[in-house]
Amino acid sequence: MDFDLTDDQKLLTDSVARLLGDRYTFEARKGFQKQDAGWSADMWGQFAEMGLLGLPFDEAYGGFGGGAVDIMLVMEQFGKALVLEPYLATVVLAGTALRIAGSEAQKSAILPEIVGGALKLAFAHGEQGARYDLSDVTTRAAKTASGWVLDGAKSVVLHGDCADKIVVSARTSGARNDEAGITLFLVDGNAKGVTRRGYQLRDGTRAAEISFASVEVGDDALLGTIGGGFPVIGRVVEAGISAMSAEVVGSMDKMLDVTLEYLRTRQQFGKAIGENQVLQHKAADMLMSTEQGRSMSMLAAMMVDEADDAERGRNFALAKVGVGQAGRFVSQNAVQLHGGIGMTEEYLIGHYFRRVMMFEHSFGDTAYYLNKLADQVH
């Protein structure tokens, strides 16, 4: 048992914190959000320069060979600053799919472009009727003489509107909800037959509905094996849970700090409202939830590379519920303790509240994972 960070990890944390502290103020973020893409190309360049975009990739592809703990550290900082850029979509989600299923040719062609900041990716798996079921895939891919043709639609694809390349899951055999028969493809964002409708999520990040109408791709677009997509999707989702958990932890840290500061300064009845014990105890509960959530986020990071499927699946379910419940508790009470100002678009707490909202609805919610855990009890 060892909770220490390496010197490199401390350096990484400090430099990301410094960059965001200087350049990613709440006011600056409002400006980024107003840009056409909904985020800042300039900041994306900064992330590339700092090596963040290459963090999890092998050195052979220009990366830094980092692990889930490194991603966790970066995402915690991103959660404190409410970073808008497509890091989760490109580096964590699609990046994980490429890392574990990509051919040598695919990795050599694409990973260095991601590392350098030239290519953005998205992971297009969820569909409107699927809710959180990872095997519910109706988008179809049919074999042709020279490749494949894709038909179907993907829903709430994170940063799908700006992606240069999209990892798409499609059914190549079997019935809806079969785990076997799902295959992953790499499709150009601008390929003929791809239609994207981009929009903002509640928290201000971007996503898209993407439809595929007779989209033709070559055999080289196949990512991994035919029909072997399901386990890859599972690992991508777990990497996403781990990264986003850390982001929620960063957001909880920030919400707690901001709320404590408000309790110290806001005066009512002639004294700081933080002098009221009922509010002190609520803040103590927020502190405890934040720490319990941090523990679960660490658990998720440690489990990303766990080889035992059952052990990994069980711990991810525990972690997702733990972080989700902590995030909801802390964010709801952050708004409550602020009173009216917490309800406004202008003030920052509501923005953290809405970012944390996204976590519960990404990759399976609390009820979904509690049922998963419950079904293991006999």
Partner 1 sequence: MDLRFTAEEIAWRDEVRAFIDAELDPALRERLRVGFNPTKQETIDWQRKLNKKGWACPGWPAEWGGAAWTPVQRLIFNEAIQSAPAPDLQGFNITMLGPVLSHFGTPEQKAYFLPRAANLDDWWCQGFSEPGAGSDLASLKTAAKREGDFYIVNGQKIWTSTAHMADWVFALVRTDPNARKKQEGISFLLIDMKTPGITVRPIISIDGSHHLNEVFFDDVKVPVHQRVYEENRGWDVAKYLLGNERSGIARLGKSRANLEFAVDTARQVRSGGAPLIEDRSFRQRIAQIEVDIKALELTQMRVIAAASKKSDGKPDPFSSLLKIKGTELLQATSELIMDTGGPMAMPIWASELHALGNEPIAPEWAGYMAAPYLMLRAASIYGGTNEIQRNILNKAVLRL
Residue numbers of the site for partner 1 (CB under 8 A)? 1-5, 69, 260, 263-264, 272, 274-275, 277, 279-281, 283-285, 287-288, 291-293, 295-296, 298-299, 301-302, 315, 318-319, 321-322, 325, 370-371, 373-375, 377-378
* Tokens at 308, concatenated: 């035992």
Report in angstroms how near the CB of residue 67 gets to partner 1 at its nearest: 9
CB nearer to partner 1: pick between 50 and 373: 373
Distance CA 352, CA 155 (A): 24
Distance (Å, rounded) from C-alpha 239 to C-alpha 241? Answer: 5
Is the CB of 40 or the CB of 362 nearer to partner 1? 362
Number of other residues whose CB lies within 10 A of the CB of residue 248? 31
Centroid of chain to Cα 231: 18
Which of 192/378 has CB closer to partner 1? 378
Q: How far is the CB of 341 from partner 1 (least distance, A)?
A: 18
Spatial neighbors of 220 by CB under 8 A, at least 6 apart, are: 105, 106, 147
Q: Are 264 and 338 in contact (CB under 8 A)?
A: no
Angle of the 229-265 helix axis to the 349-360 helix axis, nearest 10:
150
* CB neighbour burial string for 187-197, b if at least 16 within 10 angstroms, e if fewer: bebeeeebebe
Shortest CB 367 distance to partner 1, Å? 8
Output the smallest distance, CB 246 to partner 1, in A.
Answer: 12
For residues 290 and 151, give the distance between their C-alpha atoms in angstroms, rounded to a whole number. Answer: 43
**CB nearer partner 1, residue 290 or residue 362:** 290
For residue 188, the surrounding DSSP H or E stretch is strand 182-188
- Min dist CB 135 to partner 1, Å, is 21
Least Å from the CB of residue 54 to partner 1: 21
What number of other Cβ atoms are within 10 A of residue 357's Cβ?
A: 17
Measured N-to-C along each axis, helices 309-338 and 229-265 cross at an angle, to the nearest 10 degrees, of: 30
CB atoms within 10 A of CB 310: 9
CA 159 to chain centre: 10
The C-alpha angle 165, 175, 375, rounded to 5 degrees, equals 95
| Minimum separation from the CB atom of position 134 to partner 1 (A) | 19
Q: Least Å distance between CB 287 and partner 1?
A: 6
- When the beta carbons of 142 and 367 are compared against partner 1, the nearer one is 367
Answer yes or no: are the C-beta atoms of 57 and 114 closer than 8 Å. yes
Min dist CB 150 to partner 1, Å, is 38
Task: Considering the complex, state which of residue 39 and residue 369 has its C-beta at the smaller distance from partner 1.
Answer: 369
Q: Which is nearer to partner 1, 15 or 295 (CB)?
A: 295
**177 versus 371: smaller Cβ distance to partner 1:** 371
Nearer to partner 1, 205 or 245 (CB): 245
Contact at 8 Å (CB) between 168 and 183? no
Phi/psi region, residue 363 (left: phi>0; alpha: psi -120 to 50; beta: rest), is: left
